Amino acid sequence: GGKGYGDFKKRLLEAYLTTFGPARRRYAELVSDPAELERILQDGANRAREEAARLMDKVRRAVGIP
């Protein structure tokens, strides 16, 4: 009661900014430094590759593939 569309729109914007503000700021940081973004992506790819190799080694041993 006593609240209109504009009031709720403002509250929704505040909630959105509170929830997603930190992620949006981090995204802006990453986009502004392509070299750092590439470094982070390469690091993640390397770690994923290592983990996948360990898992595949276990799978091969479990099924008897040398």
Domain extents in the chain: 1-32, 34-65
Share of the chain above pLDDT 90, in %: 91
Confidence of residue 3 (pLDDT cuts 50, 70, 90): confident
| pLDDT recorded at residue 66 | 78
Q: How many CB atoms lie within 10 A of CB 37?
A: 13
Q: Which residues contact 66 (CB under 8 A, 6 or more apart)?
A: 60
Q: How many CB atoms lie within 10 A of CB 13?
A: 10
Cβ atoms of residues 36 and 30 within 8 Å: yes
> What tens digit of pLDDT does each residue of 6-38 get?
999 999 999 999 999 999 999 999 999 999 999
